[in-house]
Amino acid sequence: MREILTVKNLSVIYKVEERKIHALKEVSFSLREGEILGVVGESGSGKTTLGLSILSLLDEKAYASGRILFEGRDIFSLSEQELLDIRGRKIGLIFQEPAASFNPVLTIGYQFREILQKKLNLKEKNLVSQIIYDSFKRVKLVDEERILRSYPHTLSGGQLQRIAIAFSIALSPLILIADEPTSNLDITVESQIIHLFLRLKEELNLSVIFITHNLDLAKVICDRIGVLYKGKMREIREKETLFREPKDPYTKELIEAFKKLE
Amino acid sequence: MKLLQVEKVKKYFVHKRKVVRALDGVDLFVEEGQTSALVGESGCGKTTLAKVVVGLYPPQAGKIYLKGEEITSKRNKAFLRRNVQMVFQNPYLSLDPRCTIFFSLYEALSIFTKIKKKEAVPFLEELLKSVELPESTLWRYPHQLSGGQLQRVCIARSLINNPSLLILDEPTSALDISTTVKIIDLLLKIQEEKSVGFLFISHNLKLVKHLAWWVFVMYYGKIVEFAPKDLIYKNPLHPYTKLLLDATTLKLKDIPESTLPERGCRFFSRCPYKKDMCLKEPTLIEIENNHFLACYLKRK
């Protein structure tokens, strides 16, 4: 399978009050086309930093080294304008807290149209409504007229996360990075969103980096899983072999804890 | 006699001029030294029930008995406080960030026992050992400890006055998986040693399996099914229980959003088996030995 994104020796250091915190240490991996790659780790392992690095969204206190290759170019060498073309358009990002992904004082419809206008330069009304309608249908949102008129606080967490996913796929990106997209949702909603990701991956041939701390989820959704611990990628393998015979001592411990709860 | 007996407890809130029936006649019990688990989605009233039991909310109707004593009345406040303790979901928010662990524990200790600070030290060191923490933890501040360690401190604090009932409100949902397993082991050990009753509140049926004797399934402020653990897992009868189990194993695909109907069975809008008779709300009755269900499906 073709590799669509390659991360080489990525290290990220945060400088906090003269102290250096190594969030990522020499992380290397590649994402294959059409796969869901899980990045599993405990809190503080560097999962979110990894997701943000790929879109070059780290704040100024962070120092990154290494290379992230996408479409033959190094993300870190791109200008701000070139990055804007990649963010959203080519690589979408879905966050943990759905409510925080939206502007609370604007309607969903306004925000959706704004994204389409800014990112795709679409102004023609019919085309815009068509895209909105299609993406809502893909994420199985019904009652789209009402949702478009609604403000974020009137919708449930599950609905908002579906809308966030609809926003992302409307720009038809090649890669989606999902950073704990279900950990603030109810288990019944979580299960549905997971199946939504699986379906979208098939329908749109998306490549997904799925960041999570939940091994149950990773086991269901991912093709391959990478285990991140204290900023290091300890092991990255096919899901089945990882669960059957973990090699790294930390992964072993994690899988054992997981199996104890089975 | 049951350790805790909750009978027809109601708690309504008024929100934007609408009445929210958070608890709408809940029956539940915990047996001495055993664990009853309360499961359901967020917003179904789990935490409200916990707060009513510990006396943080007065119930609008219904009775709560602890060891046969009614604890909803003012007269039994001290009895209630000594015997019922709660461990919350987020250990970071449960301890005062400006106090050492020693002070947080000593404060709880000094409520029922007159003891000088110096004399309390060996006792508290012993207590921390019982939750598998080093003695030196006593002199740390919350920010110096990890989430798992803090939750151990919270458990230790809740045990200080030897309560007979612990209410554990999602005690591991803020923790990582390896820590969760260790906390569950610790809780089982404590229960065996001290024979404390647990009311374990969770949305995670996988965890509940490791702790509970009885499982109570709650939906929109009412218990819809309860039975011993094995019956719930092997033979779930209420469509909502099945839905929760499917969600736990991530098999659940598209279902309707939950809405509470005006009348009738509260699960009506999501139920795949709904019939006309469901417009009248089913009551909780014993369908087979020890297995209680509020649904017409299995009735003859």
In chain B, residues with a C-beta closer than 8 Å to the C-beta of A260 are 181
Which residue(s) pair with B23 in the sheet? Answer: B11
Residue B41's domain comprises 4-220
pLDDT in tens, B62-82: 999 999 999 987 778 889 999
For a pLDDT cut of 90, what percent of chain B falls above it? Answer: 80
Average pLDDT rounded to a whole number, residues B121-137: 95
CA dist., res. A161 & res. B292, Å (int): 36
Q: Do A187 and B207 touch (CB under 8 A)?
A: no
Two tokens at B234?
Answer: 């092997």
pLDDT: which is higher, B168 or A19: B168
Provide the CB-side half-sphere exposure for A29 (13 A, CA).
Answer: 24
Q: Which pLDDT score, from 0 to 100, does residue B22 have?
A: 92
For a pLDDT cut of 90, what percent of chain A falls above it? Answer: 84
- Residues A73, A43: contact at Cβ < 8 Å? no
CA dist., res. A10 & res. A29, Å (int): 9
Q: Can you tell me which residue has the tokens 């900023």?
A: A231
Judged on CB neighbours under 10 Å (0-12, 13-18, 19+), A10 is buried
Q: Which pLDDT score, from 0 to 100, does residue B300 have?
A: 65
Pairing of strands A207-212, A36-40: parallel
User: How distant is the Cα of B290 from the closest Cα of chain A, in angstroms?
Assistant: 26
Q: Which pLDDT score, from 0 to 100, does residue A146 have?
A: 94
DSSP state of B276: G
**Inside any domain, residue B294:** no
Pairing of strands B291-293, A36-40: unpaired
Query: Is pLDDT at A18 greater than 90 in this prediction?
Result: no
> Which residue in B201, B172, B169 sits closest to A257, CA to CA?
B172
Q: Whole-number mean pLDDT of chain A?
A: 93
Average pLDDT rounded to a whole number, residues B246-251: 90
- Residues A144, A133: contact at Cβ < 8 Å? yes
CA dist., res. A253 & res. B169, Å (int): 27
pLDDT in tens, B203-245: 989 999 999 999 999 999 999 999 999 999 999 999 999 999 9
Query: Is pLDDT at A232 greater than 80 in this prediction?
Result: yes
What are the residues whose beta carbons fall under 8 Å from the beta carbon of B42, sequence distance 6 or more?
Answer: A186, B203
List B residues 193-252 in contact with A (Cβ-Cβ < 8 A).
Answer: 203-204, 206-207, 210, 243-244, 246-248, 250-252
Q: B255 pLDDT band (50/70/90 cuts)?
A: confident
**Inside any domain, residue B230:** no
Q: What are phi and psi of A104, to 5 degrees?
A: -70, -20
Average pLDDT rounded to a whole number, residues B151-180: 93
In chain B, residues with a C-beta closer than 8 Å to the C-beta of A195 are 250, 252-254
Two tokens at A88?
Answer: 């959203």
Size of interface A-B (CB pairs under 8 A): 65
Q: Do B176 and A214 touch (CB under 8 A)?
A: no
Average pLDDT rounded to a whole number, residues A86-109: 93
In degrees, rounded to 5, the angle at the alpha carbon of residue A239 between the alpha carbons of residues A234 and A242 is 50
pLDDT in tens, A85-97: 999 999 999 998 8
Element (H, E) at A144: helix A144-149
Q: Which pLDDT score, from 0 to 100, does residue B258 have?
A: 79
Average pLDDT rounded to a whole number, residues B14-20: 88
In chain A, residues with a C-beta closer than 8 Å to the C-beta of B178 are 42, 253-254, 257
Q: Which pLDDT score, from 0 to 100, does residue A183 have?
A: 87
Average pLDDT rounded to a whole number, residues B269-287: 91
Q: Which pLDDT score, from 0 to 100, does residue B1 have?
A: 85
pLDDT in tens, A131-151: 999 999 999 998 889 999 999
Per-residue CA distances from A223 to A54, A176, B47 (Å): 20, 15, 37
Query: Minimum mean pLDDT among A216-230, B123-137, B255-269: which range?
Result: B255-269
Q: B124 pLDDT band (50/70/90 cuts)?
A: very high
In chain A, residues with a C-beta closer than 8 Å to the C-beta of B251 are 191
> Which residue in B26, B84, B23, B93 sits closest to B53, CA to CA?
B84
Q: Chain A within 8 Å of B15 (Cβ-Cβ)?
A: no
Overall number of domains in chain B:
1
Q: Do B203 and A257 touch (CB under 8 A)?
A: no
Residue B165's CATH number: 3.40.50.300
Residues of A with CB under 8 A from a CB of B: 42-43, 140, 156, 158-159, 186-188, 190-192, 194-195, 213-217, 220, 253-254, 257-258, 260-262
Q: Which pLDDT score, from 0 to 100, does residue A38 have?
A: 97
Q: If one looks up domain A3-260 in CATH, what number appears?
A: 3.40.50.300
Per-residue CA distances from B198 to B55, B72, B158, B211, B278 (Å): 17, 19, 12, 9, 34
pLDDT in tens, A38-54: 999 988 899 999 999 99
pLDDT in tens, B159-169: 999 999 999 99
Q: Can you tell me which residue has the tokens 């969760």?
A: B180
Strand order in the sheet with A62-70: A19-32, A3-16, A62-70, A73-74
**Inside any domain, residue B261:** no
Q: Do B252 and A158 touch (CB under 8 A)?
A: no
> Which residue in B4, B56, B52, B3 sits closest to B25, CA to CA?
B52
Q: Which pLDDT score, from 0 to 100, does residue B72 have?
A: 84
Q: Which pLDDT score, from 0 to 100, does residue A32 have?
A: 96
Query: Is pLDDT at A17 greater than 90 in this prediction?
Result: no
Q: Whole-number mean pLDDT of chain B?
A: 93
